[in-house]
């Protein structure tokens, strides 16, 4: 059954191990898409907690039609519920900002209604944001959503709060560092600074990753949903393609120091709580799951 299920959702399936949390177990997860290489077999992965991402092209139909949302849940969730540990349905990966993102709140709500109608309300519905959903993020205390996503994100946050669900984010310090290396030191980007680099009020930041996460915490506070917790679902550092910033050594240093950091500390704004999964690769990056 596991193999058939994985093949059913070649472009849509994301299989994940349990989360890392300072408040809970300290497990490291992997995103399991079917477009990579050196992947574990579907039968090896199918017993884990699962987050499934519908196709982007289905988001608008979910938003326009409760029947379409019901049909998708019946086909892709109900049929497998006794054999697969579904924990999240993610409506869109980095479709916000963008025109498709306008459909996400209603699509989330309709999928949530569909789950409740078949007795599966314990499965949470969420979405995944990129950093460019933020119009400001430096220092973290000035974090703000861009004006074009503010209304959408307020609606999404309301849905998440009703479910007691997490907001998923993708955080890649490599991109701001490599695009503006004069602004960010290598030590700040790579978790190797022994002294605080950014002082934000009473809070001290030693690395860019944590600062980026806290910028998301700030924006949630500013729209009065500071109780919503974050989970970082994609991280990594590329090993090739943009010398001198990319190298196997840099990728290894970043990922190993990231693991050491997040298993010991939360963020300055959330010192007792941080959750993340590790994506297997980013531009051929070294990763902890290989």
CA distance 28 to 25: 9
Burial class from Cβ neighbours inside 10 Å (0-12, 13-18, 19+) for residue 23 reads exposed
Bridge pairing between strands 13-15 and 85-93: unpaired
Could you tell me which residues are beta bridge partners of residue 90? 126
Catalytic residue among 57, 94, 187, 221: 94
- C-alpha atoms less than 13 angstroms from C-alpha of 261 in its C-beta half-sphere: 23
Q: Which residues of 156-184 are buried (b: 16+ CB within 10 A; e: fewer)?
A: bbebbeebebbbbbbbbbbebbbeeeeeb
Q: What is the DSSP letter of 102?
A: G
Residues across the chain: 290
Active-site residue flag, 151: no
| Contacts for 70 with CB less than 8 Å, ≥ 6 apart | 114, 117
**Element of type H or E holding 61:** helix 59-64
Contact 98, 59 (CB under 8 A): no
CA distance 284 to 265: 28
Active-site residue flag, 57: no
Burial class from Cβ neighbours inside 10 Å (0-12, 13-18, 19+) for residue 85 reads middle
Tokens 């703000």 belong to 144
Q: What is the DSSP letter of 40?
A: P
Q: At what angle do helices 66-76 and 104-117 cross, to 10 degrees?
A: 60
Catalytic residue among 57, 221, 234, 284: 234
Q: List, by residue number, the catalytic residues.
A: 94, 234
């Amino acid at each position: 059954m596991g193999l058939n299920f994985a093949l059913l959702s070649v472009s849509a399936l994301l299989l994940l191990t349990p989360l890392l949390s300072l408040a809970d177990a300290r497990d490291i997860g992997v995103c399991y898409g079917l477009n990579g290489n050196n992947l574990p077999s579907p039968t090896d992965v199918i017993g884990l907690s699962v987050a499934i991402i519908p196709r982007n092209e289905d988001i608008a139909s979910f938003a326009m039609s409760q029947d379409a949302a019901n049909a998708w849940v019946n086909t892709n969730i109900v049929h497998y519920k006794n054999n697969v540990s579904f924990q999240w349905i993610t409506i869109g990966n980095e479709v916000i900002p963008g025109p498709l993102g306008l459909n996400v709140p209603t699509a989330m709500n309709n999928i949530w209604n569909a789950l409740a109608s078949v007795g599966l309300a314990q499965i949470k519905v969420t979405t995944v944001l990129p950093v460019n959903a933020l119009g400001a993020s430096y220092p973290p205390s000035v974090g703000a959503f861009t004006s074009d996503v503010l209304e959408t994100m307020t609606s999404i946050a309301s849905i998440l709060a009703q479910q007691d669900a997490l907001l998923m984010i993708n955080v890649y310090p490599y991109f701001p560092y490599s695009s503006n290396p004069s602004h960010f030191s290598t030590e700040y980007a790579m978790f190797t600074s022994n002294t605080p680099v950014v002082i934000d009020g009473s809070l001290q930041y030693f690395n860019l990753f944590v600062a980026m996460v806290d910028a998301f915490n700030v924006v949630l506070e500013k729209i009065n949903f500071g109780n919503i917790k974050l989970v970082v679902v994609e991280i990594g550092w590329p090993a090739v393609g943009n010398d001198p910033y990319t190298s196997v050594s840099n990728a290894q240093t970043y990922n190993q120091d990231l693991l050491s950091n997040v298993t010991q500390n939360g963020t300055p704004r959330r010192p007792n709580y941080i959750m993340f999964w590790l994506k297997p690769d980013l531009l051929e990056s070294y990763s902890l799951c290989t």
